[in-house]
A and B are shown apart, each in its own frame.
Chain A
């Protein structure tokens, strides 16, 4: 329930920042796909069920607030998730660096799939320039992904939403058990 509450707030916040705040701060060509970056970071940091549901919700939000053919963003995001989860253990083991790489590669893959789906459906006239744009979006994901991956690792840890494996990793290596004072007394 706590995860649902925080992720709902995050979803709304991402939509507002992506559609209202960033366009006023950055030129239209430089705006990263913030929603997808956050969702793919969440996929690595959160328990699998919550992560997958959050990526689905972000894809749906992009479809609802976008102008392209409906469902294409959600479908692209879910295919990307399927591909990324095939090496889920490696992403999780790498921690923030894994989230960064997953977000970057996932952004490129999702955008590429979106263009391909648009071509298959004949819905948008994406040409060579669209594939060049995929490259740019991936580059922005690489740039913006690093601070986001770090920030969201801290955010999810603060919220207590991290995967158990990542919680263990953040605690560091297990210390050797301390000797009990009673044992020392008994030996003496």
Chain B
């Protein structure tokens, strides 16, 4: 055993106390520090580069019409350019379906004409991936774009039109994002065919592979494995209709609650760059309370 005298005996305890105090720091300060730390390292990280690996993409081909889908094992080889094009098409289809539904609702509401669906991409900036860190499902990715480029905290991040994560901290020249599979991240989501809305959160699967769980509150739910899950736009981070993933299986938690396992459309950690949305937060369609009150009077 080692027995020390003097101040060296206490230094470990001082550091231990400091470490314990760090856990009590407020979230805002932590996000600011994380953003600035990544921003400070950005020149070095950019030079060394996080490498370019082909993205791992999910496709509905992994979902035969039974519940015994093989999941990720059955997915196509990630390096095939066809897979990327397929993801793009799927994301586009999901968005068009969503727009079609929105237009139909508009048409029903006004009982006449409706505007054409816009195909322009939302305002954003393409940023190279400069850092990756994955520990126990807590993946964090560093991007070479920061507040100087218009990136803000909480902004949505897309890859080929599919929603893959959100900005958790932003520094001047770099920002870090958490993918949708991160256990701490929540995204408002919607099932394309079932039209049910819920909250998507990250969750480690039984095999340790990252998955998402969509919690839906409904008495009845008609969902087939392979059904697309898209953003609902209610969280103010993503525009509605962006592809999030595909339903793998579902189970009824209680009378009104369903838990759906969702395979993310794309593994954000395996991409070479991502598209960060820089526009103002999308309008959340809350009911206009003031107008309703005025009308009530």
Contact = CB atoms under 8 A, between A and B. Distances in A.
Contacts of B8: 48-49
Contacts of B204: 125-127, 129-130
A94 interface: no
A7 B138 CA distance: 27
Contacts of A81: 12, 15
Classify the interface of chain B: helix, strand, loop or mixed: mixed
B129 to A, nearest CB: 9
B168 A52 contact: no
B11 to A, nearest CB: 6
B180 interface: no
B22 A74 contact: yes
A71 B22 contact: yes
A67 B37 contact: no
A89 interface: yes
Contact of A68 (B135, B176, B203): B135
Given A16-B48, A67-B182, A75 B23 contact: yes
A183 interface: no
B12 A78 contact: yes
B12 A52 contact: yes
A66 B140 contact: yes
A82 interface: yes
A15 interface: yes
Interface stretch (A53-61, A146-154, A155-163, A174-182): A53-61
A20 interface: yes
A74 B19 contact: yes
A71 B24 CA distance: 8
Contacts of B207: 129
Contacts of B23: 69-72, 75, 121
Nearest to A81: B12
Given A20-B45, A82-B16, A89-B1, A64 B33 contact: yes
A72 B21 CA distance: 10
A28 B45 contact: no
A186 interface: no
B287 to A, nearest CB: 34
Contacts of B33: 64
Interface string B44-56: 1100111111000
Contacts of A133: 136, 208
A87 B2 contact: yes
Contacts of B4: 48
Interface string A106-147: 000000001100100101111101101100000000000000
5 contacts: A56-B15, A56-B18, A74-B18, A89-B1, A133-B136
